[in-house]
Structure 1
């Protein structure tokens, strides 16, 4: 097996590399090369907000820079040992590589029993190269294939297909993962997401769900995190009222900062809902403050904050007198919790 012979690269040549996959491959050559690339590509790598392990249409992930169409690595099982082109030592493990005309990035090879070990080795290199300020996310539509336990893995993006019949399988998948910063799940099946409040689905800091069954999202009852972005086919007004009333009483959602829910089937009856939850009103002649907070998980570097909520309607939490703005527009309800008492909130009203 031939080992890759590395040419000596000078600083000017490093500066000419404009493709992330090339820069990444060079960073694998040696610690000195890695440090040289980082020092001369500071501006470029400041723009990297996330590293994504994308296995939507394949079992073994394609790794790319988050908001950019640049693949930097592909994982694959051995198909033909003769196709091995070179070896590199990655975080203490020798790994075989080949090139790919399909993905335009290096392909790291492994035997099935080594899958998690090889991915972990590269992940350790990513952590060393990009640091812990970068978000690391896994995307998949295969809940049957577990993911490696990767340090600083912050989010999972999953699509559950129409053929899915047992919501427990999703629970089993997430129970094998650590508590995550972000969960983003499209649930196309006819069944609901787990109604169990102990599910790790509801322990993430941020959750985004799209759900097409006829039941209200269980997130409205069980979420324990900070930010929720919900889209659903159907949701009764009574479920929205129950959600807000539990927030007001302090019974649940103590950590909640922001929640928005969009219902596809029909518009929310605005006056009925606002009256039922007992909103208080800012005088119509005054301008209400704008509620927006930094996103717990930033999937778009150009949208680091939640969508603004500007509303004359608000509720007050009984347990600590904290205020939450409530906005109903068509099929969408937005709910933003302020870190202010009612007295402090009214002081910032124009």
Structure 2
């Protein structure tokens, strides 16, 4: 079929974020030509950190670049009146496309039984073009829609689980069938807990943000294995905070942890008591401590790519490797930032 809307080839268009849809024209080119174009645009491509399949509010995903507000592709089922504009051979599969006045990008069409194969073909094209220079994220808030198992794909979930939740079995099935979890943002108020397998998947996510009535369901503070956690509880025992820090200090748990904050809605955290109980060490009050901040594991806001800074005169040291973590307690919030430095290296950064 004739290309009606996308006649130009190409490298100047790739320079402009508003025409990223034309990346699909590269599928018509030889691998040698693709590599030539990429070599010309190497600086611009460095700004592309992720390809996102966004099915947050729709059944079939929009594809966009990182946190950018515009889309480069839409997936959709055929309708009886589907107006096919052109076909492309994507990773060996002929796929029909139409234009979209709503999304201002090409729409890849599929019959229901072809959904996963069409998405997989286009995903393989991205892998061929970008290889491992970008991350591939699938974001969703709907546990009832299956997520294809695609190479190098990580899943980002945002869910609200109400107090009287009656579909825990299907939610468990969703987690057990999910590909690798990159980020979980979950408000968990249900009386019934997830299955042990599903909870385990939660704890393995790189990044988690959770709001909970009961801090032990799920028990993120005790079992988290990822890099960054943002926890909000209505109530939390100080002894659990102390246990968390002491387990990190001993090297027993939280080996990958970079950053963690705990906000307790209903009560403040006794600062001196807690610092004494975790064996905190202190920088002289007349000196300026270094500021801890790291790049967020999953960036949902391009204007806030870094974690909130932690500047604290208090710190703890891990026994096994002498690594340092800054500890800041302010009101009802505890912030914990792990440095990739020994105590000696850390103290050399103090002004």
Normalising by structure 2, we get a TM-score of: 0.85
For 2:94 and 2:308, locate their aligned partners in 1 and report how far apart those are by CA, in whole Å: 46
Deviation per residue, 1:217-264 (Å, 9 max, x gap): 622111112222223443332321221122123221122222122233
- Distance in 1 of aligned mates of 2:241 and 2:289: 23
Q: Taking structure 1 as reference, are residues 233 and 340 closer, same or farther at Cα in structure 2, changes over 3 Å only?
A: same
Cα distance in 2, alignment partners of residues 58 and 7 from structure 1: 26
Deviation digits for residues 93-141 of structure 1 (CA, Å, limit 9, x no counterpart): 0111111111111111111121111111111111223332212111111
Alpha carbons of 1:165 and 1:268: their partners in 2 closer, same or farther (altered >3 Å)?
Answer: farther
User: Contact 2:183 / 2:298 at 8 angstroms: preserved in 1?
Assistant: no
| Unpaired segments ≥5 residues, structure 1 | none
Distance across 2 between alignment mates of 1:12 and 1:346:
50
On the 8 A contact 1:226/1:255 being kept in 2, the answer is yes
Q: Residue 114 of structure 1 corresponds to which residue in structure 2? A: 114
Q: Is the 8 A contact 2:10 2:22 kept in 1?
A: no
CA spacing shift, 1:102–1:184, aligned 2, 3 Å: same
TM-superposed CA distance for 1:191, in Å, is 4.2
Q: Using a 3 Å threshold, how does the CA distance of structure 1 residues 314 and 8 change in structure 2: closer, same or farther?
A: closer
Task: Give the match's secondary structure for 1:154.
Answer: strand
Q: Which runs of 5+ in 2 are unaligned?
A: none
Between 335-344 and 124-133, the greater mean CA deviation after superposition? 335-344
Partner residue of 2:47? 47
Q: CA 1:168 to 1:246, structure 2 compared with 1: closer, same or farther past 3 Å?
A: farther
Residue aligning to 2:29: 30
| Equivalent residue pairs, number | 347
Q: Is the 8 A contact 1:326 1:333 kept in 2?
A: yes
The equivalent residue for 1:345 is 346
CA contact (8 A) 1:156 1:184 kept: yes
For residues 1-350 of structure 1, the aligned pairs below 5 Å read: 2-4=1-3, 9=8, 14=13, 19-31=18-30, 34=34, 38=38, 41-80=41-80, 82-162=82-162, 164-167=165-168, 169-180=170-181, 182-191=182-191, 194=194, 196=196, 199-204=200-205, 206-216=206-216, 218-299=219-300, 303-350=304-351
The 10-residue stretch of structure 1 (326-335 or 262-271) with the greater mean CA deviation from structure 2: 262-271
User: Given that residues 76 and 108 in structure 1 are in contact (C-alpha distance below 8 angstroms), is that contact kept between their aligned partners in structure 2?
Assistant: yes
Q: Secondary structure at the match of 2:180?
A: coil
Moved more, 22-31 or 99-108: 22-31
Q: Does the residue aligned with 1:68 lie in a helix, a strand or coil?
A: coil
Quick one: distance in 2 between partners of 1:109 and 1:56?
A: 19
Aligned 8 A contact 1:21 1:73 in 2? no
Is the 8 Å Cα contact of residues 91 and 121 (structure 1) preserved in structure 2? Answer: yes
Change (3 A) 1:24 1:343: closer
